[in-house]
Structure formats: C-alpha cells, structure tokens
Chain A
C-alpha cells in the first residue's frame, strides 16, 4: 500500500492539519508520501520532509498552484494518484474544495470527513450533523478521503528525513483566476487547533459584548468561536463559526456562553473533552451535553469568571 497525503499550507508555513492527516495515513499503513503543491513552497517542502513517518515529499512548485485553485490542483493530483492506493487530504475548506474534483476525475467515490480508520478500506464518518456514525467500506481502486482533523492526534513535526522530489509537469486550466482575499487577523490560537475554546451565541447581544469573551479567552490562552446566530447577527466574522457548516473543534475545554445548543452547533463541538455551558435558560439543550452548567446571566458570570482565573 502507498498513501498520498496532500499538505495544507499557507504563507510558506505547513498547517497543523497536515500532521493529523499523516496520523490517519499511518493507521491505514504503507509508505506515506506528502504532496506539497503551491507557489514558492520550498520551505513548506522542507518542513514536510521533517514530519515523522513520511517517506517521500513530492513538490509541485508553480504559479498555477498558488491559492490552491482546484481546476489546477485536481489534474496534478490525478496525474500521480494511480501510483497510490489512498489519497488523503485534511477536511479543510481547501481540501473539501479540490478533493471531490480529484475523485470524479478518477471516477471513484470520495469518503468525506473520516473520524476513524477501521481497516485499509473501511472508515467511520459522521452523518446527519454528527447524530449518526456511518461505517463505510470502499472498493475503489484508489481511495479518495478527506480527514476530519479533530478525529486524529497530530504526528510529530520533527524527526523525519524524507526525500524531496520535484514534479515537473504543470497543469494550468486557465478557467479560473484568483482575484483577492480578506483574511481575518487574530493573535489568538487557531480555532481548530486550540486546547481551549470560548464561544458566544445570540445571548451575547451584540458584537461589542464579545470583548467579555476575548478578555476571558486571553487569560485562558483560548481561541474564540461563535454560533451561527452570532455570525448571522453580524457580531463576529463567519470564520469564527463552530458547527456542522462551520468549523469542527474538539478542544480539552469548550465554554459555550449564551448558546442554546442547536443540533447544528453541537455537530461542531460535542467531541470536546469537557463542555461548560453558561446560559440563563435552564431548559436550553446545551445543558444536555454540558459536563458543567451554570444557569445565570452571562454579563455577571463571565466577568466574575475572568477575575477568578
């Protein structure tokens, strides 16, 4: 068996999601190769070569691969995929974007967002917003899989010594072009990788009140998330949304403040180790999944909690 892991990276840095995906690859078994595709990705390739357990790093360095446009990345992956039994990418927005395109070009089905590897052809994945777990067996000659990174630990970023090989052929479909991007700036930990997450919902009332959560989060070294209601109301940007259609997190501690706990929100956080809920409605469904719950007004409780930390 040979497993290809497609690396996630941005601005010359390898993303942590790649390390979780390599662990999923190790559970499948066989030789592991990592593909680094992008523009000016020399440092990323070197970082990938140091990942423990990786045998080979394949580098496709061309302007066409900047910004991970799926029209160009997909044919590149397809061109080498037949040499592998498995092709894995993290279930980030870019992995979800290009990998189904790869699968269709290979004429195979994709297995999305696996949370466990049962065997080399059998995987577990959540369906219905995480309310059921499906065990699926794939008979495809090349198994194309996205990996939910919270389902797997991260492999050590150091200790490996993989060979680096350049891929010469450049695929440029020219049917799409990058125009620009607006990235949210934050010096707090990344939401999906944070050990502690503090999230606010509609109960926060307005965007200004999120300052209460930022203050608490900074003391805890936590990332700040939000429910869809808080995002839709314009309190915070949408990249902070936790849930079925936002980010999936599984931190050690998840603090839900002013969040009722709709099915779609729980889908994004119920694998957290310890869940704390602060809500003034004692009937709120969030209390059914919370390990510790506090019925009270968040505007009194959160500042008190912050002082106590």
Chain B
C-alpha cells in the first residue's frame, strides 16, 4: 500500500527563540531550521512499514516555502521514495494546510497518511485531525504503536490516563507521539542518493 507522510520545516528544537522587538512575531532570521521532530518519527514509521513489506511506496509531502525542499530531501534520504512540495510563501494555518494535504490525498490515494502529532513552533496539534475530517477517514492520534493487518490499522494511543487501542478502517490518518519509534540518521550515501529522487513542486 501507499503511505503518505507529511513533514514540516520548523525552527530546530534546540534553538531558544526570541520574540521580535515590535512583538509582531518570533525572530526567525538566520535561525537553524530542521524537520519537526514528530515528523521525523512519522517518516521513520513509514520506512519501517516498508521494511516490513506492508508499505510499497512512501510519498513525503510538505506545504511550505521553497526552502522546505531541504526537509523533503532529508525524508528522501531516510527512505521516502519521492516527494511533493506544495509551495507557498504565506504562513498558513492548520486548516489551510489540511486542505492542501487533502488535495494531495485525493490525487495520490494513499491507504495511510502519517503526520506528527504537533509542530513544535505553533504547537497547534490540529492538522492530522483536520485532514481526517476533510477526507472522512478515521483517525489514530498520538500513536505509540501502529499495526496494519487485514484492511485495518490498529493504533495504540497515548492518552492522559495511560494507553488506548483503537482499530481503524483503511484508509486512515495516524499522528505520531514521541514513543512510536526512534528515528534513524540519514547515512551519507543515502543523502547523496536522495538528491536523485524525484521531488515535484506544485
């Protein structure tokens, strides 16, 4: 089955951000940017599903500026097969991102879409749920374990009091929590190979 993974370019999690003097936002000039940590976990889970023979193709998608190609190349180096950048220079809110992702889902028809549970810049924790609403798919948020079997995906979720397991009909949306997996590092040969993999900008 085809797996779609959404990734976001954000301020690196180790950076201590500063608010601009005019209070109009956070100063992002010359600040180190990275892939959102929860998105790394999402990519890793997709790659593991492929290694298990469950997934056949992994498509990484990002909605953001031209520079987000860097994060998509990282996803390709980690094991994604191809990438799509929905280019925009505006700072979009979660609903607009979810609508852009919905358009990609309509075109690509993946069986599983994996997103991070939240981006560490806006801390919204909305996009996956909103994409599930727009597509009408079931959602497994805050996943700490994902098993695909027989047209269903079984998701163990981290909830306030402990863990909860739900079974979702495919296609479905899953958002990753911290303990789903330990993301791997991209090796140098894979980083070189990733430069040749297809990356479409729409």
Interface of A with B (CB < 8 Å)? 10, 67, 69-71, 74, 92-94, 96-105, 107-110, 112-113, 126-129, 131-132, 173-184, 192, 228, 231-232, 237-239, 244-245, 247, 263-264
Contacts and interface: CB of A to CB of B under 8 A. Distances in A.
B186 interface: no
Contact of B169 (A100, A176, A182, A232): A176
A232 B144 CA distance: 12
Contacts of B74: none
Interface string B95-129: 10010000000000000000001101111111111
Given A173-B138, A175-B138, A245-B177, A94 B130 contact: no
A181 B123 contact: no
A93 B16 contact: no
30 contacts: A67-B164, A70-B139, A93-B159, A93-B160, A100-B126, A101-B129, A103-B126, A104-B98, A104-B130, A107-B95, A109-B93, A110-B94, A112-B126, A127-B26, A127-B121, A128-B17, A129-B123, A131-B26, A132-B17, A132-B19, A173-B138, A177-B166, A179-B165, A180-B165, A184-B161, A232-B179, A238-B144, A238-B158, A239-B159, A245-B177
B201 interface: no
B16 to A, nearest CB: 7
Interface size on B, as a range, is 35 or more
B162 A237 contact: yes
A132 B123 CA distance: 11
B167 A179 contact: yes
Interface centre among B94, B160, B177 (most CB of A within 10 A): B160
A225 to B, nearest CB: 13
A129 B162 contact: no
B141 interface: yes
Contacts, number: 153
Contacts of A105: 133
B168 A103 contact: no
B148 interface: no
Contacts of B129: 70, 96-101, 104
A245 B168 CA distance: 24
Interface string B1-34: 0000000000101101101000000100000000
A87 to B, nearest CB: 14
3 nearest interchain CB pairs?
Answer: A100-B129, A104-B133, A104-B130
A264 B159 CA distance: 19
A105 B132 CA distance: 10
Contacts of A113: 123
Contacts of B131: 104
A176 B14 CA distance: 37
B163 interface: yes
B144 A10 contact: no
